[in-house]
Structures are given as structure tokens and as C-alpha cells.
Amino acid sequence: MEDKKIDILAINESKLDDTINDDELYIPGFEIVRKDRMLNGRNGGGVYLYLRSNLNYRVREDLIIDKLECLTVEITKPRSRPFLVSTRYRTPNSPPDILNDFENLIGKIDGLNLELYLVGDFNINMLLGAADGNSPKLRSVCDIYGVKQLIKEPTRVTAQSQSLIDLCLTNTPDKIVRSGVVPLGISDHSLIYLIRKTHYTNFGKAKIITTRSFKNFNKEDFLRDVAQRPWDDVSQFSDPNEMWEFWKNQLLTCLDKHAPSKSRRIRNKNSPWISYELIRKMRKRDFLRKKAEQTNDQSHWADFKAARNQVNNSIKYAKRRYFNENLAANKKDPRKTWQLINELNSRHHKRKTIAHIEIDDNKISSAADMAEAFNHHFAKIGHDLARGIPLVNTQPESFLISADKTFTFGSCCTSEVLKLLEKLQVNKATGLDNLPSKFLKFSGQYSCTIPNIYVQLIDLLWYCSN
């Protein structure tokens, strides 16, 4: 546990009871969650988890079934959905109905729509061709709920037999980097493991953006197509949302025809001093290295080393010039200056999540419990403040100034819509409707049909609001 980067370790057949406290099991840097055996007073069994202290977790009491030796925790990581980690132990020769209880548990988890990672000693041999009457039932449960078993090699090997009875089950196998078996020598069972992908920021990773291609765009042809669309059909709808969807789809059809969307990769530039000239030198350096490796010619190796030295010196010079120029240009801007200094020192400020809060000497670490505590505080703060305000006989209405005017929504006309379209800023980013303001602006100028549709939509919204 100290040598390997293990975040969660599940123990089956812990054989613990209330005579053994957590301090006797303590490993520095980890917290313990236990479920000792409480079935019919039998000895042995039991499961528990070691969880690294920096993990934000809570025990899912609603996923505990008395008949199952199973323990489930919900892990919450910053800026990502929570997921479930569970461990389960099934005793050999358990009655068949235990699998029905297990199916109920998987069904309940499936209804939560959360990632599940379940590891444990099932004592069901899942090797292909193994004579185990319970394996078809377990495979059926996995198939029904889209759960995949990741371990493929035997986990318990003796002189007489080999069996795959320690399993890793998950409903999101695409998020698993690697899984496998590690013989430890302390038991006839091997350790099974899985590694889940975690979210991280990769500053050098390319991102995909979608833009419209104007390579073959012709404004007159586009407006001609716009004028020929069946705009009047919008009146067949009575719901404003349906009218909007119809109108938007008509215009998007024309846009996709004359200015189709295309995707392109944009690489984040975390080294702004790298110029195209430097990139050209880097490519030449890489080409010379590949050539030297293929030929193993000393002259080619000399050419590569000369190119490498030239690139290194050019990068140092470009970086020095970038920071000198920018620090000089922003010497009166402390904020920008410190940004440059942090960039130079490769210091990135990361948001820190709240590990826990304390309320009435009680420490709360679960994200859900912390949210509930804040909600409770702000829900009652109004009443608490109100109790401290002295009562008065003045009525609140006395502070209002009476007026003989009323507010109503007024209808609009085509000219008003055209004026609004004229004010659109074409340099602004396209919204979620994928309608660029540039197209809306000149479409309104050259086609009376589109503004009329705007008027119909606005009139309908005004009618519904009244």
C-alpha cells in the first residue's frame, strides 16, 4: 500500500467483528469503511475498504442488502459525475436465491445511472468451459444490465485446480485503462485490480472546433434559396416552440447547403514563443534523427546533433525575448506581470475543493451532506433574521407609490424587427441555436419573409403571455 499508487483496496473475508477497532487496521494515508459479517451469527466473512484520505466519498446505505456481504461507496471527484465502488463476498455453496438478491442490487444500481466498479470473491468459476452451475445465472445478470467482467485469467491456482472466482464487474468498461491479476503469495487467491481513467487537464492536447466554410458561398444564391423556403407553413403550428423549431430548421437547411459545417483541430499553444520558423527547424531536426538512426552513419549523426543544438539555442532565445518584451509592455499591469512570472516558473494555480466542513463540532466530508448542510443554513437564515427584527405597525403597502398606469406587452411590426436585426453584432460567437448573427442580419435586409416570420413568432409569444 505504501509502495504502489493504490487509491482503493477491497478486502474480502476480513473475519473482523466488534472486538477489533479500526486503529488496529490503520494504514497511514487511508480511511477504513467496514461491513462485518452479521449473517446468522456465523464467524468469518466480512468485507471492508481502504480509501485514500484525499478521496471524497460517502457510504451508500441504501445499497446495503442484509443477505449480501456487500459494501458500496460513492466517490465524488471535482468537475465530474460521482461513481460507485463496491466489493462483494459470496460464500461457497451459497443458496441459489443469493444470486437473485445480487440481481436486485445490480438492478437498483442500474436505475441510478451511475458508473459501477464491483470487485470481490464471488466463488463462481467464470473460466470458459468450467463446470459451475451458477456461472450461467451470473452471466445472464451481467448481460441484462450491460455489465462486463474484466478478469480473464485464473485468480485461484492450486496444485489440483485453477479457477476464476475473483471478479471485476463494471458497466463502463471503456473507462478502464487496464485490469489484471497479480500473484501476491500471501494467499491462494491472487490480487485482482483495475485502473480507471481520471479527468485531468492536458494543456498540449488538441481540441476540435466546428466552423462554417465560406469557400463556395454565394450571397445571392443563399438569399434566393431563403426566399423559396416554405416560411408560411409556420402558421400551421400553435405552439411557439414548434414554430421556432420549424423556422430555425428552414434557415439551417439553407446554411448547411451554402456554408456547410466543418471541424478542425486546434492545438492549445502552451508555449507562445514557438514560432512557425522554430517548428520548421524542429521538423528538420526530427528528420535528421530518423535518418541517422536508419543509416547509423556518423556524418548523419553529426548533422542531427548540429540541428538539435541549433533548435535548443533558438528556443532559449525566443523564450527570453518573449518574456522580456511582455514584461516590459505590461510593467504597469501587476496582474499581467504576475501571470507572466507564474508562466515563466511553470506555476499553475488549481482550484482546491473543500475536503470537509465542521458544524457543531461534527466533521462533514461527503459532498452531498455538505450541500445539504449549506441548503439547510440558507433555508432557515431568513427566519432567523426575521426573529431579530422588531415588530412595527406600519403596513408594507404604505411604502408603495400608487400609479394609474399598467404594463402590457405590445405587438411589433416588421420595421421594428429589421431595426433589431441591424443592431446584431456579427463578430459575436454563434449561440446554441447554431444561427450566426451575420446570416440573420443580411437575411433580414434582403428578404421580407424572414422578418415577417419573426413578427409572427413575437406576436404569438405576446398573445401567450397575455
Q: How many residues does the chain have?
A: 466
Residues 417, 423, 426: CA angle, nearest 5 degrees: 115
Q: What is the DSSP string of 433-451?
A: T---HHHHHHHHHH-SHHH
pLDDT tens-digit map of 276-319: 899 899 899 889 877 876 887 889 888 988 998 898 899 889 98
The amino acid present at 255, given as its one-letter code, is: L
Helix (H) or strand (E) holding 367: helix 367-387
Query: Do residues 49 and 11 lie in contact, with contact meaning Cβ atoms separated by under 8 Å?
Result: yes
Spell out the domain ranges in the chain. 8-196, 209-264+406-466, 276-344
Distance between CA atoms of 114 and 170, rounded to whole angstroms?
Answer: 10
Q: How many other C-beta atoms lie within 10 A of the C-beta of residue 457?
A: 16
Query: Do residues 234 and 242 lie in contact, with contact meaning Cβ atoms separated by under 8 Å?
Result: no
Distance between CA atoms of 180 and 167, rounded to whole angstroms?
Answer: 10
CA dihedral 126, 128, 129, 132 (to 10 degrees): 10
Q: At what angle do helices 135-144 and 97-112 cross, to 10 degrees?
A: 20
- Please name which of 456, 453, 439 lies closest in space to residue 223, comparing C-alpha atoms: 439
Q: Percent of the chain having pLDDT more than 90? A: 23
Q: What integer best gives the mean pLDDT of the chain? A: 82
Instruction: Identify the weakest region by mean pLDDT among 120-134, 147-161, 188-202, 277-291.
Output: 188-202
Query: Do residues 216 and 260 lie in contact, with contact meaning Cβ atoms separated by under 8 Å?
Result: no
pLDDT value, residue 202: 45
Query: Do residues 43 and 3 lie in contact, with contact meaning Cβ atoms separated by under 8 Å?
Result: no
pLDDT exceeds 90 at position 168: yes
Query: Do residues 106 and 122 lie in contact, with contact meaning Cβ atoms separated by under 8 Å?
Result: no
Average pLDDT on 150-163 reads 85
Helix (H) or strand (E) holding 412: none
- 391: region left, alpha or beta (phi > 0 left; psi from -120 to 50 alpha): beta
pLDDT tens-digit map of 410-447: 777 777 877 887 888 877 778 777 878 887 777 765 54
pLDDT tens-digit map of 310-322: 988 998 899 899 8
Distances, alpha carbon 135 to alpha carbons 69, 125, 150, in Å: 19, 7, 15
Q: Percent of the chain having pLDDT more than 70? A: 86
Q: Which three cell numbers stand for residue 240?
A: 411557439
Q: Which residues contact 411 (CB under 8 A, 6 or more apart)?
A: 458, 459, 462
Q: Which three cell numbers stand for residue 158?
A: 492450486
pLDDT band, very low/low/confident/very high, at 456 (cuts 50, 70, 90):
low
State how beta strands 357-359 and 261-267 pair: unpaired
pLDDT value, residue 206: 55
In this structure, whether the domain defined by 8-196 belongs to CATH 3.20.20.70 is answered with no
Which has more pLDDT, 233 or 74?
A: 74
